[in-house]
């Protein structure tokens, strides 16, 4: 049985977002300028990452009150973003993470999930993953392996189809090397039942 550290996971996420804002402070301020409802943007640009770092430290330390502060931060961002989207304005990406895109309705859903995690961290909820979870994970893993096997076989078949479409090539698959396809080659008789060494040679290569 493994306990899920919700508070620590949420704290790590907030810490990464805050550090990304600080490292890309110019992009963060430019993104914040797209929120027309935010007053005193210069002060907010500094206060938000500072608050995220403080809340992240509290969550990583296991302080229950930090969960409520995290929920308040997420609620404030969700309300501002929802108002912007309702007015028909789509703010630019917040530069919170390198792969983050422009916020939208899915961002509101994501904030709702994170807000629920923040409340759970504030209440000290620690869900446990028992035997059922691990059995389900093994089933999913074996299904993924089966899907990969089918994919490899499909690719193998496509390679065969590609070879058929390209048509036959000469011996050794080198232009001008070896005998022509279908040509008779004189060779000594190979004794039946005895080991034998067969060599194919050309002007520049020798294959054994």
Instruction: Report the greatest alpha carbon distance in the chain.
Output: 94
Task: Please work out, in degrees rounded to the nearest 5, the angle formed at the alpha carbon of residue 140 by the alpha carbons of 136 and 143.
Answer: 140
Q: Are 202 and 172 in contact (CB under 8 A)?
A: yes
Q: Are 67 and 122 in contact (CB under 8 A)?
A: yes
In sequence order, what DSSP letters do the residues of 4-24 get, joined into one string? --HHHHHHHHHHHHHHHHHHT
pLDDT at residue 204 is higher than 60: no
**What are the tens digits of pLDDT across the range 56-78?**
999 998 888 999 999 999 998 88
Ranking 39-53, 55-69, 81-95 by mean pLDDT, the lowest is 81-95
Q: How many CB atoms lie within 10 A of CB 16?
A: 14
**What are the tens digits of pLDDT across the range 176-190?**
666 666 677 666 666
Ranked by mean pLDDT, the top range of 1-10, 138-147, 154-163 is 138-147
Q: In angstroms, how far is CA 153 from the centroid of its own chain?
A: 25
pLDDT at 201: 59
What is the average pLDDT value for the chain, to the nearest integer?
A: 80
pTM score, whole prediction: 0.59
53 closest CA partner among 77, 20, 81 = 20
Name the percent of the chain lying above pLDDT 70. Answer: 79
110 closest CA partner among 77, 134, 85 = 77
pLDDT at residue 97 is higher than 50: yes
pLDDT at residue 54 is higher than 90: yes
Looking at per-residue confidence, does 57 or 96 come out higher? 57
pLDDT at 125: 81
Q: Are 81 and 107 in contact (CB under 8 A)?
A: yes
- 24, with CB counted inside 10 A (0-12, 13-18, 19+), is middle
pLDDT at residue 167 is higher than 70: no
Q: How far apart are the first and last CA of the chain?
A: 59
Mean pLDDT computed over 121-149:
87
pLDDT at 181: 63
Q: Which residues of 88-104 are buried (b: 16+ CB within 10 A; e: fewer)?
A: eeebebbbbeeeeeebe
User: Distance (Å, rounded) from C-alpha 126 to C-alpha 129?
Assistant: 10
| 3-state SS class at 207 | strand
pLDDT at 164: 75
124 closest CA partner among 2, 1, 6 = 6
């Amino acid at each position: 049985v493994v306990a899920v550290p919700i508070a620590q996971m949420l704290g790590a996420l907030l810490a990464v977002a805050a550090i990304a804002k600080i490292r890309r402070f110019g992009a963060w301020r430019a993104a914040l300028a797209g929120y027309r409802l935010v007053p005193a943007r210069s002060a907010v640009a500094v206060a938000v990452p500072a608050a995220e770092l403080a809340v992240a430290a509290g969550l990583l330390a296991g302080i229950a009150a930090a969960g409520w502060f995290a929920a308040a931060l997420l609620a404030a961002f969700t309300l501002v973003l929802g108002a912007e989207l309702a007015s028909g304005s789509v703010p630019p990406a917040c530069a919170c993470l390198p792969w983050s895109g422009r916020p939208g309705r899915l961002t509101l859903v994501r904030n709702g999930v994170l807000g629920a995690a923040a409340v759970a961290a504030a209440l000290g909820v620690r869900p446990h993953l028992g035997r059922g979870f691990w059995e389900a994970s093994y089933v999913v893993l074996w299904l993924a392996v089966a899907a990969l096997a089918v994919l490899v076989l499909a690719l193998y078949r496509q390679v065969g189809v590609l070879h058929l479409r390209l048509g036959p090539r000469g011996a050794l698959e080198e232009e001008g090397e070896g005998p022509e396809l279908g040509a008779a080659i004189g060779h000594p008789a190979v004794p039946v039942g005895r080991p034998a060494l067969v060599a194919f040679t050309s002007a520049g290569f020798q294959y054994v």
